[in-house]
Structure 1
Amino acid sequence: MTTSKYDAIVVGSGPNGLAAAVALAQQGLHVKVIEAKEIIGGGTRTQELTLPGFHHDVCSAIHPMAVASPYFKTLPLDEHGLEWIYPEYPLAHPLDDEPAVVMQTSLDNTAEELEIDAAAYRKLFEPIVFNFDQLAPQLLAPFSPFPSTPLLMARFGWNALKSARSLAFAKFKSHRTRALFGGLAAHSILPMEKRISAAIALVLGAVGHRLGWPIPRGGSHQITKALASYFESLGGDIETGVKVESLDQLESARTVFFDLTPQQVLEITGSSIPNSYAKKLRRYRYGAGVFKLDLALEGPIPWQDKRCQKAGTVHLGGTFEEISASEYAMANGRHIDKPYVLVAQQSLFDDTRAPGDKHTAWAYCHVPNGSTHDMTRAIENQIERFAPGFRDLIIEHHTMNTEQMHNYNANYIGGDINGGLQDITQLFTRPAGVFNPYHIPQTSYYICSSSTPPGGGVHGMCGYHAAQAALNREFS
């Protein structure tokens, strides 16, 4: 009888791959993680992209879903070096010729700022915020027709399944509230007219009010390092600099986990998975991409509304209508002069990010999948629009189009940072519409990436649920 060297091998060291590895190792299994790059982390890496001493988060930067993650909450990541920093405001949304709209951690304070929409905003978010601890394990899990709190889930779903446009215009009267909601909804990387685009706005808004939108001291790579440190303390092995292109490269193991998207899984597994399942993976759809801009600055961004300097994240795009136009253009293969832009200002709150009194800025916008169009000027124009004099502070910049994002992280197919389109059909059926979304039928292989439920975001729940599926099937 042949004995496997490992109980499990995990291909890919993003947050989901590491979460799967940790969950397995916690059960006393012998687990190995293999990473193609020399540095582990997937979408949670921090590098000196512009100049020495300026530390930029290459992909993810702000982490509301990490602190909301039911699984990450159970791990002693603080004992392994992870420290969260909470900006005073989770989010600011500048507007032309008037004060910015600020989402504060306090739901009541935010509602008061929205004046005419105060009651409507509170009524929409209050049930989610107050019941978030019960909702989170269900929202960040595979779809179930039998949720543990059916009434709470039904109430959430009634609004979440709507389009951001229909919900915003049904609930709110003020252009300010609609703009704030549109900026939240655009994280879905869907047109505002698409059903379920409202869901991400509700979740991100609720997390902001319940927990805040924090940043890790020292950069997003600290999440990776803490997960890896805890994994190794459980006896896990990590090997870097090995690109897995075939199953033949792997050492013997009872199970194999892929923190990869369907395209890569197909390339690696070849004919070793059922043809019917492979056909479903080939039909998997990828979403829009991103264009990324990192900046080294002489000083902080000089926002016209000074409250924006107290916000970890700033959404640029103006009114709901402008944001909607930007996301519609992206989804239809076009670029726009005034894109919706996400800006993160980590160095305002974390003095490890830049030397002396210098600063960093992190920004990106959504573009068509596979786009090589340079959006640097468009992004800079949007920042300058709400922060006159910003351009004078630029010392150096670093850009990444969708091809460069894909080359950096093989999971970002065409620049898609969510591991696949998250529309109403594919969000619930990813990756292949089978009963167990993590298990590859007739094999001992599992997919644990963001191409499985609950989808994109740094929360580790895809990896956690994949590990549970394997523990129940292979190791029970």
Structure 2
Amino acid sequence: MTHYDAIVVGAGHNGLTCACYLAKVGLRVLVVEAKAAIGGMTSTRELVLPGFHTDVHASGYQLANLSSAADELGLQGLGLELIRPEVSLSKVFPDNRCLSIHATLDGTCASIAKFSSRDADAWRALYAGYLSDKQHLRQELESPPRPPGAITTGLENDPHGQERLRLRLQSVRSWAAETFESEAMRDLMADFAGHAGFAPDDAGGAAFALLFLSVIQDAGNRAVKGGMGRLPAALAACLARYGGEIRTGAPVARILIENGAAAGVELAGGECVRAGCIASSIHPRHLILQLLQGAGLDRPMVEEIEAYELGVSQMGIYLALSAPATYRAGDEPSRATQVHLMPRSTDGLAEAFCAIRADRLPGEPSLFVVNEASLDSSRVPHRKSSLKIILTTVPFAVDWHKERVSYATAVLEKIAQDYIPDLQEKIIGTAIMSPVDYEADLTSALHGTVTHGAMTLYQQGAMRPTLRLGQYRGPMKGLYLCGAGSHPGPGVSMMPGRNAALSILDDLKRFGSAGP
């Protein structure tokens, strides 16, 4: 029977990252992937028409800008090429004015100043604070999470501790109202919190909004040339360089446990593959409730994972276009990688969340439009274009087989009527992914979510996915979690995979085997 030092379950970008770090130090590593292709939520496919390359789940290389992984693994030399836009994103308002985040701080502040010169100054100050704290932030994201008590103690001894703790807990509506005078900046910040699953009045939304906008100002809302799938392809090339292996079409039926320790995996066909340790990048619910079923887990741990909140469902509308679309607001949003269109206001976003949490379709959903073809012509045929419209918050418990086409059609009609008048005449192909479609497409997209669990305050840091599983270590020796269900969470970052690998290597160094 073949024996490996480590088996990684799931060939998404976090699983592959974890595998690369383990193989780089000489471990014999195998990655097993249920699907026929690698990538998971960082896959690129011809979803709409031949020649139109679509990033099905992920949108933008954002939090990864703070990650050390790309440089440490040499991904730029293995096919990963990033393109930075001049206009990272635009928020278009009902009067067709737009607020845009530019590659330069001066450009961004000039755009903000059209709405409020005071808000432009406020953004300069906030961004300066981000830059001064950037290395500390990176260290926090790329380290095992500190226990909640340690964070609070640290803030008590920080001269700015009251301010930092308040920001961690504050809603985006509260924070934006005291920070900016224009509704435009307040609405833009609410959008960012909404994209992370925070309604305007949810605790914790302010910190997410500030983080994402700061990172985009710093490094840009960059696109991966050729599609996001080039990232897992580069990671696979890195893994091969260090002797690691990948098996696709190999779903895991269960994790083998012997003498209280992970000893390998049993594949769906019955084959058993042994290893010194197992790292799982799949959804924590899938790991605990299915792959460890019958492993003798205590009931409280099972109940904790059963209570683990999934987060908000998403819907995607993917368009192949005969030519680039034209915004009524002008050239700026046409060049932006990402455009925020709806809801029109913070109150509208709050109403959308109220509808969703009552299992109703919102009249005006939270959505943004991705236009990476404007940066990367290799994604589409010559002179053609494409758009991806992501409805960031929709209910799961509706009859999507009945509603998916009519709801998508209504959304497109609204966009054409208010923002892109030539949209309908340029559409030559459409694909719709409802939450049910996402779940059927990818096991980890439970209820059509893309976050491996909600990012509520009680599912962050050392409490992600639960307090007992919050340090990348599973419920038995030699089992680890390395996916987005661990700190620092979802998004394209490679950080959970990197952090888990360093925890595994630390255990190997301290104990001579994986797991204390």
Distance 1:129 1:273 in 2: 48
| Aligned twin of 1:406 | 439
Q: Is the 8 A contact 1:341 1:379 kept in 2?
A: no
TM-score (normalised: structure 2): 0.87
Q: Residues 182 and 224 from structure 1, CA distance in 2 versus in 1: closer, same or farther, beyond 3 angstroms?
A: same
Q: Does 1:272 align with 2:295?
A: yes
State which of 200, 203, 208 in structure 2 corresponds to 1:200: 208
- Letter matched to residue 189 of structure 2: F
State which of 324, 332, 336 in structure 2 corresponds to 1:300: 324
Return the offset for 1:180. Answer: 1.7
| Aligned twin of 1:460 | 494
Identity of aligned residues (%): 28
- Letter matched to residue 415 of structure 2: I
Q: Is the 8 A contact 1:191 1:324 kept in 2?
A: yes
| Aligned twin of 1:66 | 64
| Aligned twin of 2:453 | 420
| Aligned twin of 1:313 | 338
- Letter matched to residue 18 of structure 1: L
Distance 2:353 2:159 in 1: 32
Q: Residues 345 and 217 from structure 1, CA distance in 2 versus in 1: closer, same or farther, beyond 3 angstroms?
A: same
| Aligned twin of 1:353 | 379
Q: Residues 166 and 65 from structure 1, CA distance in 2 versus in 1: closer, same or farther, beyond 3 angstroms?
A: same
Secondary structure of the structure 2 residue equivalent to 1:245: strand
Q: How does 1:361-440 map to 2 (within 5 A)?
A: 361-365=387-391, 366-371=393-398, 372=400, 373-374=403-404, 375-384=407-416, 385-428=418-461, 429-434=463-468, 436-440=470-474
State which of 236, 250, 259 in structure 2 corresponds to 1:228: 236
Return the offset for 1:347. Answer: 1.0
Identify unmatched segments of 5+ residues in structure 2.
Answer: 256-265, 511-516
Task: Count the aligned residue pairs.
Answer: 474
Between 172-181 and 392-401, report the one with greater CA deviation: 172-181
Moved over 3 A (4+): 139-143, 146-158
Distance 2:477 2:274 in 1: 14
Q: Is the 8 A contact 1:299 1:357 kept in 2?
A: yes
| Aligned twin of 1:445 | 479
Q: How does 1:246-265 map to 2 (within 5 A)?
A: 246-247=254-255, 248-249=266-267, 250-265=272-287
Distance 1:235 1:214 in 2: 30
Identify unmatched segments of 5+ residues in structure 1.
Answer: none
Secondary structure of the structure 2 residue equivalent to 1:352: helix
Q: Is the 8 A contact 1:70 1:137 kept in 2?
A: no
Return the offset for 1:436. Answer: 4.6
Return the offset for 1:183. Answer: 1.9
Distance 2:231 2:168 in 1: 29
Secondary structure of the structure 2 residue equivalent to 1:43: helix
Secondary structure of the structure 1 residue equivalent to 2:178: helix
The C-alpha deviation readout for 1:281-303, integer Å capped at 9, x for no partner, is 22211111101111001111211
- Letter matched to residue 129 of structure 2: P
Q: Residues 19 and 439 from structure 1, CA distance in 2 versus in 1: closer, same or farther, beyond 3 angstroms?
A: same
Q: Is the 8 A contact 2:338 2:369 kept in 1?
A: yes
Q: Is the 8 A contact 2:17 2:498 kept in 1?
A: yes
Q: Is the 8 A contact 1:191 1:331 kept in 2?
A: no
Return the offset for 1:273. Answer: 5.1
Between 352-361 and 312-321, report the one with greater CA deviation: 312-321
The C-alpha deviation readout for 1:209-229, integer Å capped at 9, x for no partner, is 111110111001000100110
Between 17-26 and 317-326, report the one with greater CA deviation: 317-326
| Aligned twin of 2:30 | 32
- Letter matched to residue 336 of structure 1: P
Distance 2:309 2:14 in 1: 20
Return the offset for 1:245. Answer: 1.5
State which of 242, 248, 253 in structure 2 corresponds to 1:240: 248
Distance 2:248 2:145 in 1: 34
Question: Which of the pair has more CA radius of gyration?
Answer: 2
Between 117-126 and 357-366, report the one with greater CA deviation: 117-126
Q: Residues 273 and 230 from structure 1, CA distance in 2 versus in 1: closer, same or farther, beyond 3 angstroms?
A: farther
The C-alpha deviation readout for 1:68-119, integer Å capped at 9, x for no partner, is 2233342211110010011111110111124211112323332233232122
Q: Does 1:97 align with 2:95?
A: yes
| Aligned twin of 1:54 | 52
Q: Is the 8 A contact 2:359 2:397 kept in 1?
A: no
Return the offset for 1:150. Answer: 5.5
Distance 1:328 1:213 in 2: 29
Return the offset for 1:67. Answer: 2.2
Distance 2:237 2:72 in 1: 15
Between 273-282 and 422-431, report the one with greater CA deviation: 273-282
The C-alpha deviation readout for 1:296-332, integer Å capped at 9, x for no partner, is 0111121112200121011111222223322332233
Distance 2:436 2:244 in 1: 33
Return the offset for 1:140. Answer: 5.0
Q: Is the 8 A contact 2:142 2:499 kept in 1?
A: no
Q: Is the 8 A contact 1:18 1:33 kept in 2?
A: yes
Distance 1:402 1:224 in 2: 24
Secondary structure of the structure 1 residue equivalent to 2:129: helix
Q: Is the 8 A contact 2:193 2:199 kept in 1?
A: no
Q: How does 1:330-349 map to 2 (within 5 A)?
A: 330-349=356-375
The C-alpha deviation readout for 1:38-82, integer Å capped at 9, x for no partner, is 110000111111111111111112111122223334221111001
Return the offset for 1:383. Answer: 2.5
Between 442-451 and 230-239, report the one with greater CA deviation: 442-451
Distance 1:125 1:326 in 2: 30
Return the offset for 1:205. Answer: 0.7
